[in-house]
């Protein structure tokens, strides 16, 4: 699966992650219910992938498997040629909300994964990410005194600070108002473009997916299979009222099974 988005990604990117025939079944009322079935895809290094699907279809489950928090019932996840056996600081999962540690300051949160570094370097990195997420002046502030958007940025910064190859975001902006979400998307794209990580972003917001992704993985429901993998071949910065944008968005809406009139 090649990328048409030549403006933003290297022409030939190495393969980063491969999901191989992932199946996940949960016990429910002492019956085994299949949630994910035969999920197979490849993700290249530095790619921005969105995963969309209806609520409850298994997006978080898939992300938990990719991040190593949940062992698949069958199949495997291979990252950099090695099978995933558990969580790892090289790939960080960012949760929807309430993920920052309330007992630590902004600095303490960003520096959480950096305890092995020498002090000077840790402080340098913390300062860098404080700057990046625009929380200068809030270094000593506790999360209870931050807004929802600030907390979410903080969670992303804490993840980025440990220099992960892959960032998994599970509806990371879902709890935010639409203005903040828009700002956060721009922010995330800017970070992605400067730091070149692989990002796998789960969302139920179709617009969000079309605005952000190189490719969108569409999941069906009950059990989740891959419905389609759609390449978003729009140059960045994206014009979100161009005909092609609308066309891709409508196609996604259709695939998810929602009409595009209200």
Partner 1 sequence: MNSLSKPRNWEKYFWPVLAAALLFAIWHYCVVWTGTNIFPSPLDVEKGMAELLHKGVLWDDIEDSVRRVAVGFGAAAVTGIPLGLTLGLYPAANQMVNPVLQILRPISPIAWIPIAIILFGVGDRAAVFLIFLGAFFPIVLACVSGVSSVPSIFQRTGRNFGLSSTQLLARVVFPAALPQILIGLRIALGIAWVVVVAAEMIAVESGLGYLVIDSRNSGKRYDLVIAAMLLIGVIGLILDLGFRSLEGLPSVRWGFRHES
Please say which residue, 93 or 248, places its beta carbon nearer to partner 1. Answer: 93
Q: Quickly list DSSP for 123-162.
A: HHHHHHHHHHTT-TT-TT--GGGS-HHHHHHHHHHHHHHT
The reply to whether 9 sits near Mg ion by the rule CB under 5 A is: no
Q: How far is 140 from 106, CA to CA, in rounded Å?
A: 6
CA–CA dist 249, 210 (Å, integer): 6
Binding mask 192-231 for ligand ATP (x = CB under 6 A): ------------x---------------------------
Among 5, 44, 60, 211, binds Mg ion (CB under 5 A): 60
Minimum CB separation of residue 45 from partner 1 in Å reads 20
Angle at 193 between CA 54 and CA 10, to 5 degrees: 95
DSSP assignment letter at 112: G
Question: For residues 49-68, which are near ligand ATP according to CB under 6 A?
Answer: 53, 55-61
Among 18, 80, 117, 142, binds partner 1 (CB under 8 A): 142
Q: Taking a C-beta distance cutoff of 8 angstroms, is the pair 217, 49 a contact?
A: yes
Q: Of the listed pieces 90-98, 220-228, 233-241, 254-262, which binds partner 1 according to CB under 8 A?
A: 90-98
Q: Which stretch binds partner 1 (CB under 8 A): 105-113, 205-213, 218-226, 230-238?
A: 105-113
Of 237, 81, 100, nearest in space to 161 by CA: 100
Q: Which of 169, 41, 147, 163 is nearest to 95 (CA)?
A: 169
**Quick one: which segment of 102-110, 201-209, 218-226, 238-246 binds partner 1 (CB under 8 A)?**
102-110
What is the nearest approach in angstroms of Mg ion to the Cβ of residue 171?
A: 6
Identify the CA nearest to 46 among candidates 169, 196, 237. Answer: 196
26 contributes a contact to partner 1 by CB under 8 A: no
Among 41, 19, 76, 32, smallest CA distance to 227 is for 41
By CB under 6 A, name the binding residues for ligand ATP: 26, 28, 35, 53, 55-61, 204
By CB under 8 A, name the binding residues for partner 1: 67, 69, 86-89, 92-93, 95, 98-99, 101-105, 112-113, 142-144, 162
């Amino acid at each position: 699966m090649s990328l048409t988005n030549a403006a933003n990604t290297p022409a030939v990117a190495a393969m980063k992650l491969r999901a191989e025939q992932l199946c996940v079944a949960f016990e429910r009322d002492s019956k085994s219910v299949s949630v994910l079935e035969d999920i197979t895809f490849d993700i290249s290094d530095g790619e921005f992938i969105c995963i969309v699907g209806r609520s409850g279809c298994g997006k978080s489950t898939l992300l938990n498997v990719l991040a190593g928090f949940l062992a698949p019932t069958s199949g495997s996840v291979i990252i950099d040629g090695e099978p995933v056996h558990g969580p790892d600081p090289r790939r960080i999962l960012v949760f929807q909300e309430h993920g920052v540690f309330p007992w630590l300051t902004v600095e303490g949160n960003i520096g959480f994964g950096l305890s092995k570094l020498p002090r000077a370097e840790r402080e340098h990195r913390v300062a860098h990410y404080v700057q990046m997420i625009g929380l200068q002046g809030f270094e000593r502030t506790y999360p209870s005194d931050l807004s929802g958007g600030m907390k979410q940025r903080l969670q992303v910064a804490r993840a980025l600070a440990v220099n992960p190859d892959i960032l998994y975001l599970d509806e990371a902006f879902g709890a935010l108002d639409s203005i903040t979400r828009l700002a956060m998307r721009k922010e995330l794209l800017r970070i992605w473009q400067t730091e070149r990580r692989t990002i796998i972003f789960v969302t139920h917001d179709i617009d969000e997916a079309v605005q952000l992704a190189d490719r969108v993985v569409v999941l069906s429901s009950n059990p989740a299979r891959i419905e389609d993998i759609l390449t978003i071949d729009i140059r960045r910065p994206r014009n979100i009222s161009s005909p092609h944008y609308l066309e891709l968005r409508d196609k996604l809406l259709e695939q998810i099974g929602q009409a595009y009139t209200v």
